[in-house]
Structure 1
């Protein structure tokens, strides 16, 4: 019945007798008290609230089904949340094992012929990796402290050129100072090494401030898997097999650096060129610094042999600087790649 029909019936309803109206009211009350409408109302309330019990078997069955489905959903959520860390651990192990097998098949067909790694090489390599882990830990803790204290915000609001040039100067200055100090002078050497790690933390802190914690954990896991597998290959390969890579890797590093500075020169309208330079920065950088990891591990073993003969002094702090830079460059690219994939899914 449309609005026009209602408007036409309104005068007739106003002229109706009181007896007619009383009869309509009595019929309405009897209809509400009817058991048919009462049962439908009870079933509807039981379906919506899942807590009201009706006298009919159908309503109780619906309530039991609703409760069972809700409890099953909650148990499923708990099971998924409990299995999530185990799944990440299995994925990380699979990535590490697969990367190790692939790199071994490609690069490590010829192993050492001198009966394996001598004890002095193993101790020097383990000491170098220990300092590398300590340095990465210092960088992570310092970067987190910079984020929580607001230092990162002050860096980002300051002049970018002054911050960039000043940060590079401090980074190179502390690195050169650490390398130049004799390893027997523990206090100044470790002090400058800590300052070098603090400068690296200032570089990666802005990236860590905007990336989710789960994504950073995944990037760290992938970086450890990649560097660990390549380090095993470098440690078990023939002596000085990959030391020739120093020159080509330096050239590749220059190309990657140029591709990273390309957006400062190339106009924003050259979309394809910028996309190519971005891929060169990300994927080319992964390849270059993965090669640097292989080169640096073999260089550590070479220096261990020289130190055993008394040509140079054992200096795991200097050796760890190169591996820390490899880790940071790979980690930064892993974070950027994972963030790009996350944005594409949205």
Structure 2
């Protein structure tokens, strides 16, 4: 198991494409809802790649300095949340991970972390070069099509290229991260304080859920794949609804909440699922039933983290905007 003034770009669509053939999920990192209908609110970012609004360029607020005291309090809160999540979801723990499982999990997270670092560096470079503004002001349908084709194509290439074809597989992987960087680069329009807090929250959420998934009983969370697929479908439909249906203000608020908070919950669930899937594949690889492929495993986790991060940026930005009103 596994979807701006002028255009909104997000990752729900890739998750559907990157999954296993029978069960695919949406890649919704950034291509949607970069800026929402309300012309006075520049903060509503990225919901689903297919969702776009033609509107005037928003006026962004001045950046606020990073409050290290708040960051420290946030870190303490995240640490406490790890303990609470582990106690709530992981009452029955498994025996310790085998050496093969530990090595496979570590290799996967190395690729995940490396991909995210490359994506962040490339996105920052594209933003400073002005590419983000060109993306937002160009033809929405052209950008949408090129982005979808490029992201899905490179992702599937990295996913299905045999691990022994090292150079080709890594070239697809680099292309995939470059596509993500292009769609995420407009995020740097937001305050560094918002981006840093969202990054900290994302690391806390993914880290705690990965720990729960790694220490839970074998295959405990592999059974939630079906409900997660249904959930991500609902999130995708909620993102598409405003474009296809004449909705009122209240209905738009409901669909936005489903896409935002529902997507946050669904992709958090995918972290649990993906972590246990990685360990399951590690056991199969140890038995010689499949070939180990940490790069392929990392794609799902990377998409989970991107989707969670984007939604947290939007939540924090909307919260800051409401305080100023």
Q: Report the TM-score, using the length of structure 2 for normalisation.
A: 0.77
Match of 1:316 in 2: 294
Q: Does 1:99 align with 2:81?
A: yes
Distance 1:274 1:264 in 2: 10
Distance 1:308 1:160 in 2: 47
> Is the partner of 2:233 in helix, strand or coil?
helix
Match of 2:27 in 1: none
Q: Does 1:127 align with 2:71?
A: no
The answer to whether the 8 A contact 2:71-2:197 is kept is no
Deviation at 1:90, TM superposition (A): 2.6
Structure with higher RCO (Cα < 8 A, 6+ apart): 2
Match of 2:207 in 1: 228
The answer to whether the 8 A contact 2:75-2:200 is kept is no
The 5 A counterparts of 1:238-249 are 238-249=217-228
Distance 1:251 1:133 in 2: 28
User: Which one has the largest radius of gyration?
Assistant: 1
> Is the partner of 2:88 in helix, strand or coil?
helix
Match of 2:283 in 1: 305
Distance 2:289 2:260 in 1: 39
Match of 1:110 in 2: 92
The answer to whether the 8 A contact 1:266-1:274 is kept is no
Of residues 229, 243, 256, the one that matches 2:235 is 256
Per-residue displacement from partner, 1:205-237 (whole Å, max 9, x unpaired)? Answer: 12x132111110000000100110000000000
- Please, which runs of 5 or more residues in structure 1 have no aligned partner? 1-80
Match of 1:65 in 2: none
Aligned length: 260
The 5 A counterparts of 1:1-346 are 84-85=67-68, 87-112=69-94, 115-206=95-186, 208-267=187-246, 270-346=248-324
Distance 2:196 2:260 in 1: 19
- Please, which runs of 5 or more residues in structure 2 have no aligned partner? 1-64
Q: RMSD over aligned Cα, in angstroms?
A: 1.4
